[in-house]
Amino acid sequence: MSDKDLVEKILQKDEQAFRQFVEQYQSLVLKICNGFVHDENDAQDIAQDVFIEVYQSIESFRNDAKLSTWLYRIAVNKSLNHLRKSRRKQWIQSIENIFSNGDNNANNIQASESAGADFHLESKERAKILHEAINSLPKMQHTAFILNKYKDLSYKEIADVMQTSIPSVESLLHRAKLNLQKKLINYYKNF
């Protein structure tokens, strides 16, 4: 069944068509979400929200765009919203920790640092540093980078999702790579 047929059936509240739509695009949406949040459980929750959003707002889909592009846009926006909320929670929690039990926090950090590192922990640390560097990119660079590197979208597809031009995407990806190099070079110099 074509995307156009799926949309028509979903507009008619055909549950079987919606189920087929979810099955067809679920792995794609999960990859996008996981590329942003780097946590499988969070990515699954966000993907569920994406499909709920699609079901509730399918009337707003314009047939002049590709269904996958519209879906990418929803997945990117939901993922970015999740990151904003998550960062806000972390910031509030860190403030609370400072005022409530700063001494306990310092002891916990020292205990975890002295626990001894092995290769697995070093690999996890490197992945964490990389994800933090990617997440610290400006919003537009971050989005373009994730769609290109984690989802393997073409520049044209990224431009469609981000509603921008191909030269803008090229520029965003170039700046993202330069920013990542700057952020990561200090880590690897000290490694």
pLDDT, tens only, 71-95: 988 999 999 888 878 765 565 555 4
- Give 118 or 54, the one with higher predicted confidence: 54
CA–centroid distance for 115 within its chain: 31
- Give 184 or 107, the one with higher predicted confidence: 184
Conformational region of residue 62, where left means phi above 0, alpha means psi within -120 to 50, and beta covers everything else: beta
Inter-residue long-range contacts of 14-22, CB under 8 Å, 24+ positions, other chains counted = 18/55, 21/54, 22/51
The answer on 139 and 85 residing in a single domain is no
The answer on 29 and 72 residing in a single domain is yes
Please determine, for residue 108, whether its predicted confidence score (pLDDT) is greater than 60.
no
The single residue listed with the structure tokens 């191909």 is: 166
Q: What one-letter code names the amino acid at 20?
A: Q
pLDDT digits (tens, 9 = 90+) for 154-169: 899 899 888 899 999 9
CA dist 133 and 126 (Å) reads 11
Mention every residue, 6+ apart, whose C-beta is less than 8 A from residue 86: 37, 42
The single residue listed with the structure tokens 């981000």 is: 162
Average pLDDT, integer, range 101-110: 45
Per-residue pLDDT, 52: 92
Tokens of 184: 């990561």
Per-residue pLDDT, 188: 63
The answer on 110 and 22 residing in a single domain is yes
Mean confidence (pLDDT) of the chain: 80
Its domain, for residue 179, covers 117-191
Confidence class for position 24, pLDDT limits 50, 70, 90? very high
Please determine, for residue 171, whether its predicted confidence score (pLDDT) is greater than 90.
yes
Tell which of 75, 90, 115 closes a domain: 115
pLDDT digits (tens, 9 = 90+) for 112-140: 444 444 445 566 777 778 888 888 899 99
The answer on 176 and 110 residing in a single domain is no
Per-residue pLDDT, 6: 86
Per-residue pLDDT, 115: 43
Per-residue pLDDT, 181: 85
Per-residue pLDDT, 105: 44
Read off the pTM: 0.59
Per-residue pLDDT, 16: 93
The answer on 87 and 11 residing in a single domain is yes
Per-residue pLDDT, 64: 74
Per-residue pLDDT, 103: 44
The answer on 150 and 95 residing in a single domain is no
CA dist 152 and 173 (Å) reads 13
What CATH number has the domain bearing residue 166? 1.10.10.10
| Count: domains in the chain | 2
The answer on 70 and 14 residing in a single domain is yes
The answer on 122 and 59 residing in a single domain is no
